[in-house]
Amino acid sequence: MRSPSLRDPDPDTDLAPSMVVILGCFAFAVFWVLAVFPAVPFLPFGRTAGSLLGAMLMVVFNVITPEEAYDSIDLSILGLLFGTMLLSVYLEKADMFKYLGKLLSWNSQGSKDLLCRICVISAISSALFTNDTSCIVLTEFVLKTASQNNVRPHPFLLALATSANIGSSATPIGNPQNLIIAILSNYSFWDFIVGILPAMLVGVAVNILLLLCMFWKLLSVKKDQIRSAPSETSSEEVIYHHYPPPNMSHLTSQEWNSVAQAPNAWSNQNLDGNPGLRETLMNQNTDIMECLENAAPIQTVDWKRLVWKSCVYIVSLGMLIGLLMGFNMSWTAVTAALVLLVLDFKDAQPCLDKVSYSLLLFFSGMFITVEGFDRTGLPDTLWNITQHHMRLDHLSGIVLLSLLILVLSNVVSNVPTVLLLGSRVAAAAASISPVEERKSWLILAWVSTVAGNFTLLGSAANLIVCEQARRSEFYGYSLSFWRHLKFGVPSTLVVMAIGLKLIHG
């Protein structure tokens, strides 16, 4: 172990010794490069491995001790992330997101109506289920619906990504940076919502107006044909009753239904040794297919599944009520998720496998890396130089602070920005008044979230929509960086400014 004196700060400055600063900045740079560009040729490790690599370098370089590294990991944030991710898995099993998808196309009045629905649904779902989850499950629905209306999908993809980011600002569980802010600031779930919800609602409305203005001509094009989308009806909820045609009268109705529902399995089990019947079935294949295509589905109610789905929604609602009542957010989310795990009464491994453990590891490594970078003293030094220009009791200070958060959120990413600036901004605001301190956390949450719309790289939700659209088998489409930037810059600046006015007053 190295001598502790190596990390002792210089008495004449807030900076740590030069070697610690250099090594700490190098480790943070490795983390930053892999977090922003996860597939660079010389470091093709990905974000999660890059985060862990940055954390390891901080410890190896003695910028931070192993004990300090473990202490820097916030288990309450990881627990809240785990609980909300597992809860989202069970809500998806209960068809919640399928119902949200159906709302996009139900009784649609045209492309403009569809765009407004996408904005509203993505904003609300992001506030309740996180913006990343909403973008993952809704992108395919948006592409299908755009294809049905024979409209180019990029206005709808922009509507989904930007509204998801704005909507996620309203609650502590809407995105990771809000989780951190709510825990660091001791904001209750209810107080957080009351503080930001008006800005979120107005922000979504303004975003809709900007989308309509920019894409009005494109959305006004009359569709010349409607493409039929694949049926979204679950095979578990529909039972097909098939009736034998006249020339198959030697099969009973029960045998016919067995053949129609699973012809391969039925023939393997029942036609061996009966070549005549096998030949008859093969000759009547056309009749079978016609009967299958023309048969009307008769929906039957699966009461067991209906009760289970109701329990999922009740438990999820109970979790939201508990959060609003001020219960510990981390334990409330984990408890709700584990209650659903028990109610499912099945092997939980398939559901647990859907939890993004790589994201939890990414956050663990990021906590250590940011803590190590903080201990170099460089963030304190830079903040001390600039903080007197960013006082929240002056308009110019609010503007400069917001621009700093905007730039850092797009360069460093919003979560590290919150970790680096959170306590410093709050401390500076506390020197003015306790009210300003409370507002400073909301400003940080609002600007760091809306800043994700500035560029395609500003938010993980943007990248999810872009990648999901590109890989879609139904309607592959590439949302380019410049196409996003053309709308993202004006939308971010206008929505951010209006929200700041509502939050700070």
**Out of 223-232, 236-245, 448-457, 459-468, least confident range:** 236-245
Please indicate, yes or no, if residue 160 is contained in any of the structural domains: yes
Please indicate, yes or no, if residue 132 is contained in any of the structural domains: yes
pLDDT confidence of residue 277: 47
Indicate if the pLDDT at residue 180 is higher than 80: yes
pLDDT confidence of residue 67: 95
CA 212 remoteness from chain centre: 24
Indicate if the pLDDT at residue 258 is higher than 70: no
DSSP sequence for 328-369: -HHHHHHHHHHHHHHHHTS-SHHHHHTS-HHHHHHHHHHHHH
Please tell me whether residues 176 and 243 are part of one structural domain: no
CA distance 53 to 30: 8
Please indicate, yes or no, if residue 201 is contained in any of the structural domains: yes
Please tell me whether residues 136 and 182 are part of one structural domain: yes
Indicate if the pLDDT at residue 446 is higher than 90: yes
**Out of 40-54, 304-318, 375-389, least confident range:** 40-54
Indicate if the pLDDT at residue 239 is higher than 80: no
Indicate if the pLDDT at residue 63 is higher than 90: yes
Please tell me whether residues 264 and 148 are part of one structural domain: no
Residue 301 or residue 79, greater confidence:
79
Please tell me whether residues 445 and 486 are part of one structural domain: yes
Please indicate, yes or no, if residue 439 is contained in any of the structural domains: yes
Please tell me whether residues 267 and 135 are part of one structural domain: no
The pLDDT of 281-308, averaged and rounded, is 61
Indicate if the pLDDT at residue 262 is higher than 80: no
Q: How many domains in the chain?
A: 2
Indicate if the pLDDT at residue 149 is higher than 80: no
pLDDT confidence of residue 319: 92
CA distance 13 to 6: 15
Domain boundary among 261, 278, 298: 298
pLDDT confidence of residue 271: 45
Please tell me whether residues 125 and 195 are part of one structural domain: yes
Domain boundary among 278, 298, 318: 298
Indicate if the pLDDT at residue 497 is higher than 50: yes
Residue 259 or residue 241, greater confidence:
259
Residue with the two structure tokens 């400055």: 13
Q: How far is CA 10 from CA 22, 61, 213, 387, 394, in A?
A: 15, 18, 56, 22, 34
Please tell me whether residues 466 and 409 are part of one structural domain: yes
Q: How far is CA 200 from CA 73, 112, 204, 488, in A?
A: 30, 21, 6, 16
CA distance 122 to 170: 13
* Four-point Cα dihedral 493, 496, 497, 502, nearest 10: 170
Indicate if the pLDDT at residue 269 is higher than 90: no
| Phi, psi for residue 139 in degrees, rounded to 5 | -60, -45
- In sequence order, what are the residues at sequence separation of 6 or more whose Cβ sits closer than 8 angstroms to the Cβ of residue 403? none
Amino acid at site 399: V
Long-range contacts at 96-100 (CB < 8 A, ≥ 24 apart) = 96/312, 96/313, 97/125, 97/137, 97/138, 98/232, 98/234, 100/125, 100/137, 100/138, 100/141
Please tell me whether residues 109 and 187 are part of one structural domain: yes
Q: Name the DSSP letter for residue 175.
A: S
Residue 448 or residue 303, greater confidence:
448
CA distance 270 to 255: 10
Please tell me whether residues 172 and 249 are part of one structural domain: no
**Structure tokens, 410:** 């797009």
Nearest-CA neighbor of 340 among 85, 60, 164? 85
pLDDT confidence of residue 73: 93
Tell me the β-bridge partners of 181. none
Amino acid at site 287: D
Indicate if the pLDDT at residue 486 is higher than 50: yes
Nearest-CA neighbor of 182 among 438, 429, 497, 356? 438
Please tell me whether residues 205 and 271 are part of one structural domain: no
pLDDT confidence of residue 297: 54
pLDDT confidence of residue 176: 87
3-state secondary structure 443-498: HHHHHHHHHHHCCHHHCHHHHHHHHHHHHCCCCCCCCCHHHHHHHHHHHHHHHHHH
Amino acid at site 441: W
pLDDT confidence of residue 275: 52
3-state secondary structure 13-67: CCCCCHHHHHHHHHHHHHHHHHHHCCCECCECCCHHHHHHHHHHHHHHCCCCCHH
Please indicate, yes or no, if residue 44 is contained in any of the structural domains: no
pLDDT confidence of residue 496: 95
Cβ(86)–Cβ(342) under 8 Å?
no
Please indicate, yes or no, if residue 54 is contained in any of the structural domains: no
**Out of 16-20, 185-189, 474-478, least confident range:** 474-478
Structure confidence by residue, pLDDT tens digits, 416-442: 899 999 999 999 999 899 989 999 999
**Out of 102-111, 131-140, 237-246, 419-428, least confident range:** 237-246
pLDDT confidence of residue 299: 55
Please indicate, yes or no, if residue 13 is contained in any of the structural domains: no
Which domain range does residue 497 map to?
Answer: 73-221+347-505
pLDDT confidence of residue 276: 52
Structure confidence by residue, pLDDT tens digits, 468-477: 777 766 566 6
Please tell me whether residues 152 and 245 are part of one structural domain: no
Residue 212 or residue 480, greater confidence:
212
**Out of 122-136, 216-230, 348-362, least confident range:** 216-230
Q: Report the predicted TM-score, pTM, of the whole model to 2 decimal places.
A: 0.72
Identify the helix (H) or strand (E) that includes residue 238.
strand 238-239
Structure confidence by residue, pLDDT tens digits, 315-349: 999 999 998 888 888 899 999 999 999 999 889 99
The pLDDT of 176-184, averaged and rounded, is 90
Mean pLDDT across the chain: 80
CA distance 412 to 274: 71
